[in-house]
Structure 1
Amino acid sequence: MLKIENISKSYGKGSVKAVDNIDLEIKSGEIFGFLGPNGAGKTTTIKMIVGLLKPDGGKISIDGVDVWDSPLEAKSKISYVPDNPEIYDKLKGIEYLNFIADMYEIPKEERIKDIEYYTKLFNIEHALGDIIGSYSHGMKQKIVLTSALITNPDLFILDEPMVGLDPKSAFNLKEIMRKMCNDGKTVFFSTHVLEVAEKICDRIAIINKGKIITVGTMEELREHAKEKESLENIFLELTE
C-alpha cells in the first residue's frame, strides 16, 4: 500500500539532514507504527508521504501510484491527520466537514450518515453549528479526525493522533484503526505513546537522527534489541 524508496530531505542548504535515505514498505491490512525521539525525522517523513514536502531524492508510491508524478490520484487514496489541527477557524464544524466531503465527492446520503456516526462517537455532534475558532484543541482534533474518516481512505496517515483526545475518544480511535485494517485498509501513524504502539501495531519502525534503525513486529524488535521487556525499554536501548 505504501512504498518508500531511498528518500532523503535536508534543510538549510543541505547542512541538516532530517531524513537520510530511508526505505519502508507497508502492506495493506496492517497498522504500522512510526516511532522516534523528537527531531528524529518522523513528521518530515510523513509530510513527504502526503505530498506537503518534496524529497531531495527517492520515490514514494501509494498503492502503486507515485506521489509526485500523479499527486491527485495518490492523494485520493489517503487521509491525513497532522500533529497540529490547523483548520479554517471561521467555518462552522458542519461547513468544514461538508467542504471535505465535497472535495472527495462523497454522496450526500453517505456523508450525512458518516458525519452523524463519527461526530457522535467523538462526542462533538452538539458543536457542529459552532465556528471552529471557538473549539478547544481536543475538539479541533476530533473534527479533523472526523473529516479524515468520512473519506473512507485506503491509507490513513496520522501524526501524533492521541494528543488532546480524552480517554474515551482515544479508545474509540484505536478501535476504528483496528477495524479499518481488518477491512483491508492500512494505518500509518507516529506516536510518542509507546504503550499504544505496543498494543495495537502489527509492525513498528524506529527512526533516529533521520535513519531507520529497526523495523518489525514486537517479537522481531525484541530480537534486534536483545531486550525481552516492553517497547519502552527497546526504544530507549536502540535510540541511546
Structure 2
Amino acid sequence: MVITDLCVQYRKISALQNISFRTSCGNRVALIGPNGAGKSTLLKAIAGLVPKSDGHIRWRGTQIKKWSREFAYLPQREEVDWDFPITVRGLVEMGRYPQLGMWKHFGEKDTAAVDQALLALDLTGLQGRQIKELSGGQQQRAFLARAIAQDAHVLLLDEPFTGLDRTSSETLGNLLNQLAQEGRLIIASHHDMSTVKDLFNQALLVNKKSCGFGNCAELITEENLAITFTH
C-alpha cells in the first residue's frame, strides 16, 4: 500500500494534511498521536468511508478512489450498537455481502467461508450467541472473523485494544500477529506506548500531518513522541 499526500477536509476544517507512507502485507502498523490528531479519520479515508480532498491511495499498484472489498474497517467498540439483534454468525455472514453483490444468493462457498472464519477465530461454539452477550475480546474476534469471511487483506482497526483486559489484549495481539504472518496488512490506531512495540512492527506518528514513519523499535522514542504530541 502506498499513500501519497493524503488530505481530508470537513467543510473548511483540515483534518489531515499531506499524509504519506508506504507499507505492505505482513506488517502491523500502529497509528500513534494525540486525541484529535486524525487517526480515526485516516482509517476511514483508507476504507473509503470519508472522502479525501487530495492525494492518492494505491493498493496492488492500482489507485483506490472510493472503496475496495479487500479493505475491512473495524470501528471503535463504543461506535457499535451492541443491542442490535444479531448473532455472531449473522455478523460474520455480513462479511460475505460485498462478494455477493446485488443479485447473487448466499451459497455453499459463502457458508464455507463463514465456517472457516468462525473456526479460525475460535468462535464456532459462540456462533449462536447475540453479540451483546460476548466479552470485549470476543466481540473484537467476531469483527475480525467478519473481515476474514470478507477475504479482506487490509484490516483497518480503530483502537482495537481499548477496554480489553490483559488476557484479552494478549489474545488479540497474538491473533493480529498470526493474521499478518498469513499475509494480511494490519493498520490500527493505538494509544498505549508501553505495548506498542510488542504489538506492532511499524508505526506512523501523526498529528494532522505525518510526524514520522518507520520501524517501531527505532521510531518510538521519547523525542519523537514529544514532537508528535506537541506538534
- Indicate how the Cα distance of structure 1 residues 87 and 65 shifts in structure 2: closer, same or farther if over 3 A, else same: farther
Verify: 1:197 aligned to 2:192, yes or no. no
Q: Which runs of 5+ in 1 are unaligned?
A: 223-230
**Distance across 2 between alignment mates of 1:136 and 1:177:** 18
How is 1:1-240 mapped onto 2 (pairs within 5 angstroms)? 2-11=1-10, 13-14=11-12, 16-68=13-65, 71=67, 75-84=68-77, 85-86=79-80, 89-104=84-99, 107-120=110-123, 125-126=125-126, 128-133=127-132, 139-208=138-207, 210-221=208-219, 231=221, 234-240=224-230
Deviation at 1:129, TM superposition (A): 2.4
Aligned partner letter, 1:43:
S
Q: Which moved more, 1:33-42 or 1:150-159?
A: 150-159
- Indicate how the Cα distance of structure 1 residues 28 and 138 shifts in structure 2: closer, same or farther if over 3 A, else same: closer
Aligned partner letter, 1:212:
S
**Distance across 2 between alignment mates of 1:37 and 1:235:** 10
Deviation at 1:154, TM superposition (A): 1.7
Computed over aligned residues only, the root mean square deviation of the Cα atoms, in angstroms, reads 2.6
Deviation at 1:54, TM superposition (A): 0.5
Is the Cα contact below 8 Å between 1:206 and 1:215 reproduced in 2? Answer: yes
Deviation at 1:104, TM superposition (A): 3.5
Deviation at 1:158, TM superposition (A): 0.9
Is the Cα contact below 8 Å between 2:43 and 2:73 reproduced in 1? Answer: no
Q: Which moved more, 1:58-67 or 1:44-53?
A: 58-67
**Distance across 2 between alignment mates of 1:82 and 1:164:** 13
Deviation at 1:164, TM superposition (A): 2.9
Note the alpha carbon deviations across 1:49-90, whole angstroms, 9 max, x for none: 000001111111222232226x3xxx2212221123525712
Q: Which moved more, 1:16-25 or 1:195-204?
A: 195-204
Instruction: Give the aligned length.
Output: 220
**Distance across 2 between alignment mates of 1:109 and 1:183:** 19
Paired position in structure 1 for 2:106: none
For residue 31 of structure 2, give the secondary structure of its aligned residue in structure 1.
strand
**Distance across 1 between alignment mates of 2:133 and 2:183:** 37
**Distance across 2 between alignment mates of 1:133 and 1:65:** 39
Aligned partner letter, 2:160:
P
Aligned partner letter, 2:226:
L
Is the Cα contact below 8 Å between 2:72 and 2:147 reproduced in 1? Answer: yes
Instruction: State the identity %.
Output: 22
Q: TM-score under structure 2 normalisation? A: 0.81
Deviation at 1:110, TM superposition (A): 3.6
Q: TM-score under structure 1 normalisation? A: 0.79
**Distance across 2 between alignment mates of 1:42 and 1:117:** 29
Deviation at 1:140, TM superposition (A): 3.6
**Distance across 1 between alignment mates of 2:187 and 2:135:** 26
- Indicate how the Cα distance of structure 1 residues 119 and 101 shifts in structure 2: closer, same or farther if over 3 A, else same: farther
Aligned partner letter, 2:94:
F
Aligned partner letter, 1:160:
E
**Distance across 1 between alignment mates of 2:141 and 2:176:** 14
